[in-house]
Structure 1
């Protein structure tokens, strides 16, 4: 029996390592977002500073470990075997859940996940105990669950969302009002004071407050710090202010860079000090439980309660350091960490660009109401004050020669506010032993500062708000799914024992491997990130425009006849699954065409003067490509809906006609595809292609007349007629746009000449 529980402990620590990896991939956004978004330093410098912060912050996490042992449930009410069931269920759930969020690129809360997993697993075991007891009912559930502490933790997490958003919004508005976007002149006079305040705040809340949880700072040192808090704050503020001002005078120090880098270090410390419990707190608690049980050989695992977990237990520093090293290595090599970071930077970006999220009804409603309220508020202020405020928030134009795509997502003023406010809020939570969500706090602070900084203008507001709502909705899903999954896993392990553990481990491994493969495929896109000289991560477009378009057009002209054939077959045999599959492919194709179309402004801005005449043909070609995608979509969707709603089958004459169209369409598109691939626009070949187009259009006109005869003869119903005539019409559009695509490609090639479409120095 002892060997069985020893294996569970080993499994817990193996899961802890995995949890550290997926957890850091998710939470790296918390402390890297501001430094990366503002491009305060080369990537390797930012990463090195964050790594140092993690290593030091890990040793400050000892006090937080109590949350995993007694923060959610009363350990003295559970036997050793039951405690181990709770812990193994929690760790399995955590890995699966966090890896899912990392794969889709959404930042979620490791704190919320661990709290609700502990709650779900503990409730599951407690319910089993109550059901097996003759003198207890569900009203006694409070005996097992530390409801007061759990409620305080959950309330603290929810309140932190609101407080973080409004704190970030207010502080950023005041800061921007003082310094404006052209802050260089003002910063010469007040920069040292601003830096002194920011670094003092970070010093106090991270180093002083966080020291309470340290595994190596003595009680006497903590008492001295507490007695001299005010003196330390004053000395730090005066000292930092003087030092920064002297450095500005003598070495022209960029104070904002210092604040951003120190803030990154501090927030990394806060993350490690606050969130390390989420990853290793449960395995360490399981290890302590096993040590207590194994110290009395022969003890029944269902006969020894675990009141020892309620005692204050000191976590060894070496364990915390090992955890910090694993987190640091993950930070450097995790590709998923970059995906999650890109989501938050995109939502707070000051520049225009392709939005990751779409529009939603609530976002549109909120923007309309906000615009209305803003207009009403402006009417209350004198015109002079309105102009004065507007002048403080006027954004400078992008310097000549710098593309907006290459510019920082936001300036270092906002990055400094993000880091300072988030560090203070998280450190307060740490000092109060409340495991606030670092993800919630940093994300909402960043969103609040973005709002105040007017990053959400009328062209992007609905998409940014939809993105924020999507992330927040994911947080609620985290809580629900964490509780539910842990509840189910704990029950399975209780009833099936080791078999359930093996099965759930296999599921977890499969899920993680599969999600890794999906993420790798998702990361293969036309836009890649390169760290060219390790000083700036800039976005470039793969290849020349001509090569990119040739590839895109070839893909479309190859896929269209295949999908069209599947649609015809699906209608002929009423195969719903085949039509559904075709619709998915068509929507994906439409999305790809839309993505290419959205790149038009970026490419046009990069046109050289010598090749500027190519621009209209490039835009025209993409227009036709988009229209082709639209046309096939308007064929696939009605066809699927028709069969999905179980309407009458197509008559044999219609199927025969559609097969004829499909054969001629395939022949026409093969010809177009060959000419495009070979870049062969010989007059004879072009005329041959358009001869096939004319023949196909003649067939479409003929079959339209046949359908009208069937309608008059009442051989077909209304829904059948609407679908068939719609397919004929959209097929006509499809063929016409394909012909225009061929002409545009010919003109595009003819005008391209020897010139490169993009400036070669950008490539």
Structure 2
């Protein structure tokens, strides 16, 4: 290969740097956005502007992982420029794919860990090749690789997870004891002192992170800051406490809001200063390698000893990278997806849980419950009572409005999140311990939510499953990064242009698939918004919207039933699997409608027992409709998936008749709900009775088929199951229809039920 080919490789690396900035910011934005967004400390645009300024301030610092990309994981003096190009191309391709995958699924991971293990995997691959090709065999793998650095980073991950979680939990516990959930009155007494502590932690974090890499600071200034840390923090504490006391007394300012916004700026700045080089460090190292090689008389064989030297990044380049990061922050939809994951795992109130429970989360909850029960017995009853009173949550004012703008958690927890995250990262930085800002901020947020009892008995198993999923993803990041970059480096080293083109093609296809998948998830979220009751102002509106929601759900169940029957008749497994996925979505919709009904029931006066009973009946009917539809889909899918014998022609014809009745009745009920009027109720009742007779007749026919052995056991179970499910669904639809009439008093003649249970 000529030197010109490697110039093209450098251009590709620089192009990859742009893509990596986009996917990197998308993943890491959760670090500095979740506390301010989750607590609604300020309008969304204000938070984004502050975070943007934090990023632009951070990119002017050239510290971070640049040296890791050049010499931290491997020893560059043992590699040639072609060797390093194979490593760097493999690293960038892996990084873009890996981060995009995590962003699609809304899982925050560490860009630091990903880049380190990608460098490690690719460097090991090229080192193995060099060892196998060597004639003398004097070099070993540990001569090429800085194994101590990788081990230190792994230990740093484990340590940061534990320290961050327990630090967040303990500090939040004592902060909540001090302020309680009704914190505003107590903020006037202790707010200034507490705010001084928080600001000294956060602003010192800015100093220690900024001074380490700021180009305008001399070594003497950095050294002075390092040796006068406690004096600086004391001065910040005194000034901040005095200023906050003045704001509270004179202007009645809620000082938690400025603390949170300053903390958001600090973490955004730290992210840009520390993690920017995760995205552009490797491409710039590739550029340095090319420039060094091009200046040599033997560019393809000269070793890269020059990369061991320190490098200064031009400020203009850093600002350009910062502009790309800020643009991504504002316009990337996946940023919101990743942020929502952490906010939902820490939300104070019950809500739709993103994760299901697993055996491990249930085991952890049971163990924790037993442990806390034992600890409680050791604490005096009087003290337990006092603590319980201080930690008692404050119910929000009862209102017909569903509180669209209600924060996921309060300002106290948001401020603690930022204060503890800043303190832990600052402490680790001062001791030169490698850790991930992502891991620290996430685990602190989980620790504070745990301490705030956000992980109650109704939500603990789901929240723990989510945390385990994210933590498992962190370790998967390291494993996947190593393996994939190892393979990519091998392919690029041996196949050169063809290998690079092939990997880029595969990467483009996978990114496109992830994009399609994310669009699907966004569509599901938009559909979930249909079931919102945020703008409800009175009970009549709530009742009307409930039937709108029922109409939308029934329409989708009708469409799914139609597809499921046809797919069963044709034994189309792919369509059945798609409907089974939709069933999970219908279950979420059903649970959301039921949760909304519970909220509305809380708004009703106790003496309005009749309306409350009718609303409860809606829940009962809806659950039965949803369960029976799900049973039809699962029965059909499992039958075809197991490759059992298909339905007999006569069974198909009979089920087609049943299907027509079901579809027609669902359509009539939908229309009534939509138009708020009774449409041919007698026709619907007659249709139901006709269907009962039809099912009875076809069940008798099925008995004959069983006797003559034309229908085997599994076919008989399927037939009876589906026909029974359909009949139950229709009975519950009639009941919903009667409740609809009674709720809106459309027709007094229908006050008596036409259909028996």
Tell me whether the two structures share a fold, i.e. TM-score over 0.5: yes
Partners of 2:421 and 2:22 lie apart in 1 by 23
Cα distance change, pair 254–675 in 1 and its aligned pair in 2 (3 A):
closer
Instruction: Classify the secondary structure of the residue corresponding to 1:497.
Output: helix
Structure 1 counterpart of 2:535: none
Written as runs of structure 1 = structure 2, the 5 A alignment for 1:292-371 is: 292-296=292-296, 298-301=297-300, 303-371=301-369
Q: CA deviation at 1:58?
A: 1.8
Q: CA deviation at 1:314?
A: 2.2
Cα distance change, pair 667–235 in 1 and its aligned pair in 2 (3 A):
closer
C-alpha deviations, 1:690-722, integer Å up to 9, x for none? 323222221211222232334344554433333
Q: 2:593 matched to 1:596?
A: yes
Structure 1 counterpart of 2:728: 733
Structure 2 counterpart of 1:761: none
Instruction: Classify the secondary structure of the residue corresponding to 1:399.
Output: coil
C-alpha deviations, 1:544-581, integer Å up to 9, x for none? 444443333333234323322322332xxxx5445444
Instruction: Classify the secondary structure of the residue corresponding to 1:353.
Output: coil
Partners of 2:544 and 2:325 lie apart in 1 by 36
Contact 2:564 2:576 (C-alpha < 8 Å) held by counterparts: no
Partners of 2:560 and 2:637 lie apart in 1 by 18
Q: CA deviation at 1:749?
A: 5.0
Partners of 1:672 and 1:34 lie apart in 2 by 45
Contact 1:216 1:317 (C-alpha < 8 Å) held by counterparts: no
TM-score (norm 1): 0.89
Structure 2 counterpart of 1:700: 695
Partners of 1:737 and 1:18 lie apart in 2 by 53
Contact 2:179 2:186 (C-alpha < 8 Å) held by counterparts: yes
Structure 2 counterpart of 1:758: none
Partners of 1:222 and 1:541 lie apart in 2 by 61
Cα distance change, pair 567–387 in 1 and its aligned pair in 2 (3 A):
same
Cα distance change, pair 751–74 in 1 and its aligned pair in 2 (3 A):
farther
Deviates more, 1:220-229 or 1:264-273: 220-229
C-alpha deviations, 1:600-629, integer Å up to 9, x for none? 334556789999987765664564344233
Structure 2 counterpart of 1:216: 216
Structure 1 counterpart of 2:555: 554
Partners of 1:722 and 1:546 lie apart in 2 by 34
Q: 2:640 matched to 1:643?
A: yes
Structure 1 counterpart of 2:80: 79
Written as runs of structure 1 = structure 2, the 5 A alignment for 1:279-298 is: 279-296=279-296, 298=297
Q: CA deviation at 1:248?
A: 2.7
Contact 1:681 1:746 (C-alpha < 8 Å) held by counterparts: yes
Partners of 1:14 and 1:6 lie apart in 2 by 13
Q: 2:629 matched to 1:632?
A: yes
Partners of 2:574 and 2:53 lie apart in 1 by 54
Q: CA deviation at 1:520?
A: 3.1
Structure 2 counterpart of 1:466: 465
Contact 2:569 2:647 (C-alpha < 8 Å) held by counterparts: no
Deviates more, 1:624-633 or 1:712-721: 712-721
How many residues align? The count is 734
Written as runs of structure 1 = structure 2, the 5 A alignment for 1:532-681 is: 544-570=545-571, 575-604=572-601, 620-621=617-618, 623-672=620-669, 681=678
Structure 1 counterpart of 2:264: 264
Cα distance change, pair 151–291 in 1 and its aligned pair in 2 (3 A):
same
TM-score (norm 2): 0.90
Structure 1 counterpart of 2:239: 239
Contact 2:69 2:285 (C-alpha < 8 Å) held by counterparts: yes
Cα distance change, pair 696–447 in 1 and its aligned pair in 2 (3 A):
same
C-alpha deviations, 1:135-159, integer Å up to 9, x for none? 439x921111110011111211221
C-alpha deviations, 1:89-123, integer Å up to 9, x for none? 11111111111211221211111211111111111
Partners of 2:599 and 2:423 lie apart in 1 by 39
Written as runs of structure 1 = structure 2, the 5 A alignment for 1:360-439 is: 360-401=358-399, 403=402, 406-432=405-431, 434-439=433-438
Q: CA RMSD in A?
A: 3.0
Partners of 1:616 and 1:150 lie apart in 2 by 63
Instruction: Classify the secondary structure of the residue corresponding to 2:137.
Output: coil
Q: Give the unaligned 5+ runs of structure 1.
A: 530-539, 754-763
Partners of 2:120 and 2:431 lie apart in 1 by 21
Q: CA deviation at 1:587?
A: 4.2
C-alpha deviations, 1:644-685, integer Å up to 9, x for none? 334445445434433443344445545555555565524xx2
Q: CA deviation at 1:16?
A: 1.1
Cα distance change, pair 231–661 in 1 and its aligned pair in 2 (3 A):
closer
Instruction: Classify the secondary structure of the residue corresponding to 2:140.
Output: helix
Q: CA deviation at 1:80?
A: 0.7
Written as runs of structure 1 = structure 2, the 5 A alignment for 1:57-136 is: 57-136=58-137
Structure 2 counterpart of 1:533: none
C-alpha deviations, 1:348-388, integer Å up to 9, x for none? 11122221212121212221221222111111111111111
C-alpha deviations, 1:402-461, integer Å up to 9, x for none? 746532222222111110111122234445555521111100000011111111111111
Structure 2 counterpart of 1:535: none
Contact 1:567 1:636 (C-alpha < 8 Å) held by counterparts: no
Q: 2:418 matched to 1:452?
A: no
Structure 2 counterpart of 1:53: 54
Deviates more, 1:425-434 or 1:121-130: 425-434
C-alpha deviations, 1:219-260, integer Å up to 9, x for none? 232233334334323322222222322333333332212211
Q: CA deviation at 1:347?
A: 0.8
Contact 1:165 1:445 (C-alpha < 8 Å) held by counterparts: yes
Partners of 2:210 and 2:106 lie apart in 1 by 30
Q: CA deviation at 1:6?
A: 1.8
Partners of 2:712 and 2:255 lie apart in 1 by 75
Instruction: Classify the secondary structure of the residue corresponding to 1:62.
Output: coil
